[in-house]
A and B are shown apart, each in its own frame.
Chain A
Amino acid sequence: MEKLKKITSNHLFLPLFALCLLLVFNAFATPGFFTIEFQNGQLFGRIIDILNRASILVILSMGMTFVIATGGIDISQGSVIAISGAVCCYLIGGNGDGTANMPLPVACLVAVLVCAVCGVWNGFLVSKLKIQPMVATLILMTAGRGIAMLITEGQNITVYYKPFTYIGGSLPGSPLPTTIYIAAIMVLFVVFIQKKTSVGLFVQAVGINSNAARRTGLKVSAIIFMVYVFSGVCAGIAGLMESSMIAAADPNNAGLNMEMDAILSVALGGTLLSGGKFYVGGSIIGAITIQTMTTTLYALGVSSEQLPVYKALVVILICLLQSEKFKNILEKRAVEKAVKQG
């Protein structure tokens, strides 16, 4: 009993448990779910598909985790994804003959830099002007798609330059999609930051008690500023992947509602939305779980219009499981049952 409690109170328990549940369900409901085939030097299968799509969410949710840990939130991520795709596609250009106006690495770098600037804007509003994070990032959330539209001059730019599709697809000769590598690099980067710097400690301290943190010598506003910039960069990288997958810039639909999935991943991973202690590992598994759920539901024939309903059910479940009150009720029940049974 003690041991069981220890396992269930671990922050990784909930997302892992949900993921296992989904996988077990799929094993029965979706034939061939776990099959991975090797064709033309590439791996194919539903699992690979999920990981491919989930990579975007993993990167977003890592950026979101740090923001939420400081007690903030960044709801502009989805729009920043659109900006990133717009900038990159605009720079490469929709040349029908498959050429690029600008080298791909430069275009990508500029796109990510522009998104970093978006993060700077959010960070400036929150840390310097002390605007509530929800309101501050709402500005870019609404304006972002307009900005993306301005960049593409109101059109969807379709890119015919082949190497651009490598980001969201696979490099020639690589068995796995590039997205998985990019996500892995980002994860390693964050792990490095966590282990070898004090970023984690400082971000938590700011989220728990910013007043005390300042008096202890932390540069509170610099730390808050930093997490929004990082969130912007994450959204930028995610935007490149997203637009590469469809080989086009779609200011209206790219990354639509993705920030909500990212927030959901963070919550599922055990980080409280009130800030403080955060769990990047939980967020990553949370992101994979959310993507698995989305893919599973699509496979079951649920339309994209109905999808939010199912996600809402998951949110309710998470909220219940994280609520102290609900836990107490469950525990009381368990104790009563144990007493009855003697």
Chain B
Amino acid sequence: MTMRGICKYFPGVRALEKVDFTLRAGEVHALVGENGAGKSTLIKVLTGVYGKDAGEITMEGKAISPSSPLEAMKCGISTVYQEVNLCPNLTVAENIFIGREPKKAGRIDWKTINRRAAELLATLNLNIDVTKTLDSYSVAVQQMIAIARAVDVDAKVLILDEPTSSLDEEETQRLFDVVRKLKAQGLGIVFVSHFLDQIYELCDQVTVLRNGELIGEYEVAALPRVELISKMIGKELGDIQSMGKNENFGTDEILIEADGISAFGRIQDFDLQIHKGEVVGFAGLLGSGRTETAELLSGVAKPEKGTLRMSGKDVHFASPLDAMQHKIGFCPEDRKIQGIIGDLTVRENIIIGLQAKKGMWNHISMKEQEKIADQYIKLLQIKVSSPEQLIRNLSGGNQQKAIIARWLVTQPDLLILDEPTRGIDIGTKTEIQKMVIQLAREQHMSIIFISSEIDEMTRTCTRLVVLRDRRKVAELTGADINSDKVMSAIAGGV
């Protein structure tokens, strides 16, 4: 299958400019690029979600132009999206055959459905009960069921869009086995991922996009990792490597102190002292209590036991607003659901935190709002066409910057950043890390930095709190902050 000179324009944006993409049978082809590079647009053009403005797509020599996902599927192009889009309340077999049930005498032939579903999954080394509902299986298994469904419709091309983002290491390996098996069967597989390790492990070819343009197609084995990254972000890697570690340990003054705070299902007996101007990391697996603890510190949830003290006085936060009045800001993990207010403009999204703090009747004048928005858009280098652009039309990284700006405007003493770099490109990630260190050093802001990427934490944090199973299990400082130590603490080997 080939795509030649694909162009796609959105109002005011050039999403794709003359992009070529070639996929051969029996190959796993990675599609990489930063956020906003055009990966998803290319996929959507290929699967008929968007029409293309120029260019052509050929499949086995014949020109095709799918105008809907269904048509694309008929041409042999199947897609498995990041979020599994099956019906959790139906059985596995129903999910696989939904919409194309084999019939017998006008009625659905359940026997055949169940038998064929089991056979199909067995070819992917998946032996599960196909009559159970989908939600009784893990996300990884659901993902494979989605793949099974995609492949069963006579697919020649299988597109996997960020398939591993919600899988753990072992599940990822299982998925990879399936992908290799399909590859051996002669399918062409497009693999979209942010994880470079996985690309090097699994893929044969890689196509790099940047700003909607094709940078090139390379053989994975012949392309050193550093070079791949620099092609993706368009600058040399020295910048990232030279960043070095944060050597700034903050002052002696204690800003906030948690004494044995507990809340059921969140965290047990958590003690912590945060000094002015230090960057404290919360490390641990998803569900270890990182986010939950941050929510207790920021008034999103209330602790059942224990006390919080700020400058010697007990404080109780009944709401996020309470915490904001005590100069605590919490930039949440899920940008889309908890962070941005999509249909408001960037300006409104930036000033709304300060406005909430000031109260509804104490209106910030339009002039003042524009001044603040301009200032922070410049400061954080948020890419917008105008401050009046709707925030939902920004790329993930720029949305994140705008949300961080919202909190910076409120001038907090303690800023909690929960996964501030998730799902955004490497360039912006580095910028955010630099900014964190800078805020702590120059403005003596205390920062709690939560991330799943240990490298990021070891670079930015001067103290690391390790959590496991909703308990604090270790606190690392200085030379102890390195990947090995952190990993073994998370795993419980300390």
Contacts and interface: CB of A to CB of B under 8 A. Distances in A.
Of B320, B353, B357, which is in contact with the most chain A CB atoms at under 10 Å from its CB? B320
B445 to A, nearest CB: 18
Interface in A200-246: 201-202, 204-205, 208-209, 211-219, 223
Nearest to A203: B360
Contact of B300 (A199, A202, A215, A223): A215
B343 A208 contact: yes
Interface string B323-361: 010000010100001111111100010001101110011
B340 A201 contact: no
A282 to B, nearest CB: 16
Contacts of B357: 217
A217 B337 contact: no
A212 B343 contact: no
A205 B321 contact: no
Of A208, A215, A276, which is in contact with the most chain B CB atoms at under 10 Å from its CB? A215
Given A209-B337, A212-B337, A219 B319 contact: yes
A216 B298 CA distance: 11
B338 A215 contact: yes
Contact of B340 (A198, A212, A214, A219): A212
Contact of A212 (B341, B360, B363, B364): B341
A214 B343 contact: no
B321 A217 contact: yes
Of B341, B353, B356, B406, which is in contact with the most chain A CB atoms at under 10 Å from its CB? B341
A145 interface: no
Contacts of A196: 363
Interface string A142-165: 000000000000000000000000
A209 B319 contact: no
Interface bracket on B: 20 to 34
A208 B353 contact: no
B319 A208 contact: no
Interface in B348-389: 348, 352-353, 355-357, 360-361, 363-364
Contact of B337 (A205, A211, A219): A211
A156 B340 CA distance: 53
Interface string B446-479: 0000000000000000000000000000000000
* A contact patch SS: helix
A193 to B, nearest CB: 10
B338 A212 contact: yes
Interface bracket on A: 20 to 34
Nearest to A202: B360
Interface in A107-138: none
A197 B361 contact: yes
A212 to B, nearest CB: 5
A53 interface: no
Given A197-B360, A201-B352, A202-B360, A215 B320 contact: yes
B324 A217 contact: yes
B277 to A, nearest CB: 24
Contact of A204 (B320, B337, B343, B356): B343
A204 B344 contact: yes
Interface in B295-329: 300, 319-321, 324
Contacts of B341: 204-205, 208-209, 212-213, 216
A208 B330 contact: no
A205 B363 contact: no
A328 to B, nearest CB: 12
A215 B360 CA distance: 16
A276 B338 CA distance: 16
A205 B342 CA distance: 9
A275 to B, nearest CB: 10
A219 B357 CA distance: 10
B355 A201 contact: yes
A218 B356 contact: yes
Contact of B320 (A209, A216, A277): A216
A218 B321 contact: yes
Interface in B396-424: 406
B487 to A, nearest CB: 31
Nearest to A226: B360
A215 B410 CA distance: 13
A211 B344 CA distance: 15
A174 B283 CA distance: 74
B343 A198 contact: no
Contacts of A202: 352, 355-356, 360
A276 B353 CA distance: 18
Nearest to B335: A212
A198 B353 CA distance: 12
A216 B353 contact: yes
A219 B332 CA distance: 18
A69 to B, nearest CB: 11
A197 B341 CA distance: 19
Contacts of A198: 355, 360-361, 363-364
B406 to A, nearest CB: 7
Nearest to B348: A201
B352 A205 contact: yes
A204 B360 CA distance: 13
Contact of B352 (A211, A216, A223): A216
A208 to B, nearest CB: 5
A220 B360 CA distance: 12
A215 B330 contact: yes
Contact of B338 (A201, A204, A211, A217): A211
Contacts of A208: 341-344
A111 to B, nearest CB: 27
Nearest to B331: A215
A63 B243 CA distance: 55
Contact of B344 (A205, A215, A217): A205
A315 B341 CA distance: 29
Contact of A217 (B339, B348, B356, B364): B356
The 6 A-B residue pairs with the shortest CB-CB distance, nearest first, are A217-B356, A217-B321, A217-B324, A208-B343, A209-B341, A205-B341
27 contacts: A196-B363, A198-B360, A198-B364, A201-B355, A204-B341, A204-B344, A205-B341, A205-B344, A205-B348, A208-B341, A208-B342, A208-B343, A208-B344, A209-B340, A209-B342, A212-B332, A212-B339, A214-B320, A215-B300, A215-B338, A215-B339, A216-B353, A217-B320, A217-B321, A217-B357, A218-B321, A219-B319
Given A209-B342, A215-B300, 18 more contacts: A198-B361, A202-B355, A204-B343, A205-B352, A208-B341, A208-B343, A208-B344, A211-B337, A211-B338, A212-B338, A213-B341, A215-B339, A217-B356, A217-B357, A218-B352, A219-B319, A223-B360, A277-B343
